[in-house]
Amino acid sequence: MASTAVSVDKHYDLIILGTGSGNSIPGPEFDDKSIAIIEKGTFGGTCLNVGCIPTKMYVYAADTALETRESSRLGINAQVNSVDWPGIVNRVFDQRIDLIAKGGEEYRRGDKTPNIEVYDQFARFVAERTLKTGQGSKEMTISADQIVLAAGSRPFIPEVIAESGVHFHTNEDIMRLARQPESIVIVGGGYIAMEFAHVFEALGTKVSIIARSELLRHLDTDLREPFNELSAQRYDVHCGKNITQVSQDSHGITVTLDDESAVNAEVLLVATGRVPNGDELDVERAGIEAEDGRIKVDEFGRSTSAEGIWALGDISSPYMLKHVANAEMRAVRHNLLNPQNMKKMPHEHVPAAVFTHPQIAYVGLTEEQAREAGHGIAVKVQKYADVAYGWAMEDKTGIAKLIADKKTGKLLGAHYMGPQASTLIQQMITVMAFDLDVREVATKQYWIHPALPEVTENALLGLDFS
């Protein structure tokens, strides 16, 4: 039960925990509200500082390096002579990311938002809608009528690694290495692991991957199987293996697997998923329900058990994606301002992309999921190699796969693997969001010839509804 016998130093209309998507809540509509923003880490949250944005800046460099290395297929004799790793770090962080984070914090602390106070210490609940933050003489207890939990998630570290005593990295520090390692072993087979595998290998590091299952196991089979085959050609891949021991000496890291084989590398990167941060906030003291650190919320983003508590992003969402956190933020902001006319959390047709190589993007159901759901389906797998721009790129592996309902013509799923996948899929997200009939989408608009979207046009035309 939540205790109420707590002395409060300051009361606010609204407290926001986390400065990722949560920091976007206060706008001019909140100028008449007293607001506290709490951020124990770097202003801007995971996406800005250690996630989506800096990783894609590295990926772009990796894409360029790999394209250069493989340009002989286009009749070009080119090579990557050297990689200025410290220069990349400087370009990404010193010249861009760190300045944005600093500017964001200065803005919130400045005179342009006088109704907002920033706390930069860890916070935890001590009673209903009441938090203790700061340390020692600076410790304060603050409360609010409404509290938004947007405190994100953290890397999950397997026990065998956490208790080994070896020095390991996660996405939170791997991009700031002082120098590029000659070799790296990556533990994990999800999107974080695959993006960093691409970055390091393309820039010249020998990459080994250890995963308990197939790489990107959540993908549709027609993408997953060829992706795993391509990855095995590029990396030293150990799938279906568990780690039994991890050790470190002057030569680097040794990871021993359950088949008694060993993988050696200079650096160890752990990319085995993320854990919601709800378990770090003592939420039970405020009567807030959580499971494995994930705050339980209703369809409007409200806590299922505690009045005045809201949550969004990784700490509560079923989707650990920045674009979803932003959309949830907009819903929660609306609901805070319009309690009599609330919006549901927007969880329909959620797309995702993996900025590895080949690039991958998807939305909706896989073929297996569509069949399990009882749909009669039309399916088309279209190769990039069969359209003119695919010829120009000499692409041999790219595919677009569309899945539609035979009765209604509605798109059930779209899956792309290849160049520009994250861009190409946007048209199919629109088709799903506006409930369009794919039997008309291909023929009622122009498709610029010979641009790459023709791979989508041909996939649509290839769906068999007979």
Q: Where are the alpha helices (H) located in 408-448, listed in sequence order?
A: 421-424, 426-433, 438-441
Which structure tokens are listed for 87?
Answer: 């220069």
Q: Burial-class residue 236 by CB neighbours within 10 Å (0-12, 13-18, 19+).
A: middle
User: Nearest CA to 283 among 139, 119, 124, 123?
Assistant: 124
- Range 388-396 average pLDDT: 98
Split at pLDDT 50, 70, 90, the class of 108 is very high
pLDDT digits (tens, 9 = 90+) for 290-319: 999 999 999 999 999 999 999 999 999 999
CA angle 367, 371, 372 (to 5 degrees): 115
Angle at 116 between CA 112 and CA 117, to 5 degrees: 120
Q: What is the DSSP string of 107-174?
A: HHHSTTSTTEEEE-S-EEEEETTEEEES-GGG-EEEEEEEEEE---EEE---HHHHTT----B-TTTG
Q: 376-380: long-range contacts (C-beta < 8 A, 24 or more apart)?
A: 376/405, 376/406, 376/407, 377/403, 377/404, 377/405, 377/406, 377/412, 378/403, 378/404, 378/405, 378/406, 378/463, 378/464, 378/465, 379/403, 379/404, 379/463, 380/459, 380/460, 380/462, 380/463, 380/464
For residue 446, count CB atoms less than 10 angstroms from its CB and return exposed for 0-12, middle for 13-18, buried for 19 or more: exposed
Q: Residue 137's pLDDT is what?
A: 74
User: Average pLDDT of 40-51?
Assistant: 96
Interhelix angle 221-234/191-202, nearest 10 degrees: 30
pLDDT over 60 at 342, yes or no: yes
Q: What is the pLDDT of residue 1?
A: 44
pLDDT tier at 4, thresholds 50, 70, 90? low
Specify the DSSP class assigned to residue 219.
S
Q: What is the pLDDT of residue 136?
A: 77
What are 324-341's pLDDT values in tens digits? Answer: 999 999 999 999 999 999
Q: Which residues are catalytic?
A: 449
Give me the pLDDT at residue 2, please.
47
CA distances from 84 to 87, 106, 203, 239 (A): 5, 31, 9, 32
* pLDDT, tens digit (0-9, with 9 covering 90-100), for 144-195: 999 999 999 999 999 999 999 999 999 999 999 999 999 999 999 999 999 9
Question: Which H or E run includes 78?
Answer: none
Tell me: the pLDDT tens digits for 397-441?
999 999 999 999 999 999 999 999 999 999 999 999 999 999 999
C-beta of residue 434 within 8 angstroms of C-beta of residue 350: no
Contact by Cβ (8 Å): 235, 201? yes
What residue type is assigned to position 217 of the chain? R
Nearest to 326 by CA among 44, 20, 56, 28: 20
CA-wise closest residue to 144 among 15, 255, 315: 15
Residue 315: Cβ within 10 Å count: 29
Helix (H) or strand (E) holding 357: none
Q: Give how far Cα 238 sits from Cα of 45, 166, 188, 233, Å.
A: 32, 20, 10, 12
Average pLDDT, the chain: 97
Residues in the chain: 466
The region that residue 94 occupies, defined by phi over 0 for left and psi between -120 and 50 for alpha, beta otherwise, is alpha
DSSP state of 458: H
What's the alpha-carbon Rg for the chain, to the nearest Å? 24
Mean pLDDT across 95-123: 96
pLDDT tier at 135, thresholds 50, 70, 90: confident
AA identity, residue 462: G
Average pLDDT over residues 445-464: 98
* Residue 269 contacts residue 185 (beta carbons within 8 Å): yes
Phi, psi of 193, rounded to the nearest 5 degrees = -60, -45
| Residue 277: CB atoms within 10 Å | 22
Residue in this structure with the two tokens 């801007």, named with its chain if needed = 44
pLDDT at position 5: 73
Contact status, residue 295 vs residue 303, Cβ threshold 8 Å: yes
- Residue 54 gets which letter from DSSP? H
Q: What beta strand segments (E) does 280-359 contain? A: 290-291, 294-295, 309-311, 351-354
Model pLDDT for residues 60-87, shown as the tens digit of each residue: 999 999 999 999 999 999 999 999 999 9
pTM, entire model: 0.96
For residue 144, the cross-strand partners are: 12
For residues 240 and 253, the answer to whether their CB atoms sit within 8 Å is: no
Q: What angle do CA 301, 306, 311 make, to 5 degrees?
A: 30
Between CA 416 and CA 51 the distance in angstroms is 22
Structure tokens at 229: 């085959």
Give the strand pairing for 130-133 and 123-127. antiparallel
